């Protein structure tokens, strides 16, 4: 982290751009009923770190900077081409939070420092708001662009396929299914307190890692990265996702509701499998650091610079 102040500015700048793009693209009345527009905005524009969409933009920028260092076209920077994908990944992340927080699932009342969607709007509207956000994610990615080369169309389709794989039954939704199952098993005494490292990692790779991986991959795809670059970005984001989840688990033990903006200590109460429960806090911190180092190696191997390594530092050192 050579220039933390510069990185803070970068994050602020990209967050502003992402929030603006998200807000502009959302359906509004009279095209849609006011209630669903409100519910979508309530959860989507509630703040949030915007880690995933920033990762998409940063990956696109890193590939663009490396492959076209002299490019100065202000319109078609990697970041511009990747913005719809950045929005799509945040829309999907937000929908997953709404559905995960439902009473039928994790039953969480606080998220991003505010009452969860179902607390405010009721379960039915919360389910539908999640459905609408998920649908909108693919709508944003598919939206026709006025001037587009066949190569870019092909990249958009590839990015969408990657996003669908990451968000669906084999990825995020599959992870949530496994998480619910593991928690139920523990509650019912069908499994011991230790679900095993491999099983824990499988849950996290699907539930959190897959979408983080797709976020980075879409940026690299849309910036026209070659197969070798895409593989390096995947290696980077796999480790980043792992580090993210370990830190998330640590924060659930150490954090406070005020800094996290969500209910804390819930994992332990719910009998959820976590890294600290399985490995203890000290070993969990070491595992997060190992993942961060592996992420850095992946970037170095592909000569990818930009903000990607600072994002790893951010993920490792975050307090919320």
Under the binding rule (CB under 8 A), the answer on residue 123 touching its own copies is yes
Specify the residue, 137 or 295, whose C-beta has the smaller distance to its own copies: 137
Instruction: Please give the DSSP secondary-structure letter assigned to residue 95.
Output: H
Which phi and psi angles does 107 have, rounded to 5°?
A: 55, 60
* 144 touches its own copies by CB under 8 A: yes
Under the criterion CB under 8 A, does residue 124 sit at the interface with its own copies? Answer: yes
The whole-angstrom separation of Cα 25 and Cα 75 is 19
Q: Interface with its own copies includes 224 (CB under 8 A)? A: no
Residue selected from 59, 62, 134, 220 as contacting its own copies according to rule CB under 8 A: 134
Write the DSSP assignment of 291-318 as a string of letters: HHHHHHHHHHHTT--TTHHHHHHHHHH-
Alpha helices in 255-280 (DSSP H): 257-260, 266-269, 275-279
Does position 139 interact with its own copies (CB under 8 A)? The reply is yes
Which residues, 248 to 267, sit near its own copies by CB under 8 A? none
Is 56 or 309 the residue whose CB approaches its own copies more closely? 56
Residues 6+ apart with CB under 8 A from 173: 167
Of residues 202 and 313, the one with the C-beta less far from its own copies? 202
Contact between 157 and its own copies per CB under 8 A: yes
From 104, 109, 289, 300, residue interacting with its own copies (rule: CB under 8 A):
104
110-114: long-range pairs with CB below 8 Å, 24+? 110/257, 110/261, 110/262, 110/263, 111/43, 111/46, 111/261, 111/262, 112/46, 112/47, 112/48, 112/261, 112/262, 113/46, 113/47, 113/261, 113/262, 114/46, 114/261
Closest CB to its own copies among residues 14, 207: 207
Number of amino acids touching its own copies (CB under 8 A): 52
Q: 165 vs 313, which CB is nearer to its own copies?
A: 165
**Cβ atoms within 10 Å of 67's Cβ, excluding its own:** 14
User: Interior CA angle at 241 toward 224 and 68, to 5°?
Assistant: 20
Q: Which of 52, 93, 99, 186 binds its own copies (CB under 8 A)?
A: 99
Residues that bind its own copies (CB under 8 A): 27, 31-33, 35-37, 40, 95, 99, 102, 104-105, 122-125, 127-128, 130-132, 134-136, 138-139, 141-144, 150, 153-154, 156-158, 160-161, 164-165, 167-170, 173-174, 176-178, 180-181
């Amino acid at each position: 982290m050579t220039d933390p102040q510069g990185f803070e500015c970068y994050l602020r700048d990209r967050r502003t751009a992402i929030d603006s793009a998200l807000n502009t693209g959302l359906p509004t009345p009279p095209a849609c009923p006011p209630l669903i527009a409100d519910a979508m905005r309530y959860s989507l524009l509630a703040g949030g770190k915007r880690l995933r969409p920033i990762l998409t933009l940063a990956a696109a920028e890193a590939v663009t900077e490396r492959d076209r260092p002299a490019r100065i076209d202000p319109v078609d920077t990697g970041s511009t081409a990747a913005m719809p994908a950045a929005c799509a990944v945040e829309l999907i992340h937000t929908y997953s939070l709404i559905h995960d927080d439902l009473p039928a699932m994790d039953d969480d009342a606080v998220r991003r420092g505010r009452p969860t969607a179902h607390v405010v709007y009721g379960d039915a509207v919360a389910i539908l708001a999640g459905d609408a956000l998920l649908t909108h994610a693919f709508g944003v990615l598919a939206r026709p662009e006025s001037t587009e080369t066949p190569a870019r169309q092909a990249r958009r389709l590839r990015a969408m396929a990657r996003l669908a794989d990451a968000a669906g039954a084999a990825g995020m939704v599959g992870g949530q299914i496994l998480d619910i199952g593991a928690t139920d098993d523990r509650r019912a005494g069908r499994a011991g307190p230790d679900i095993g490292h491999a099983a824990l990692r499988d849950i996290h790779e699907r539930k959190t890692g897959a979408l983080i991986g797709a976020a980075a991959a879409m940026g690299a795809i849309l910036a026209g990265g070659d197969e070798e670059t895409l593989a390096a970005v995947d290696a980077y984001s796999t480790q980043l996702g792992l580090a993210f989840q370990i830190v998330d688990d640590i924060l659930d033990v150490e954090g406070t509701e005020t800094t996290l903006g969500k209910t804390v200590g819930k994992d332990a109460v719910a009998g959820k499998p976590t890294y600290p429960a399985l490995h203890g806090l000290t070993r969990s911190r070491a595992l997060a650091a190992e993942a961060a180092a592996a992420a850095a190696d992946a970037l170095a191997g592909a000569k990818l610079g930009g903000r990607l390594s600072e994002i790893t530092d951010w993920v490792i050192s975050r307090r919320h």
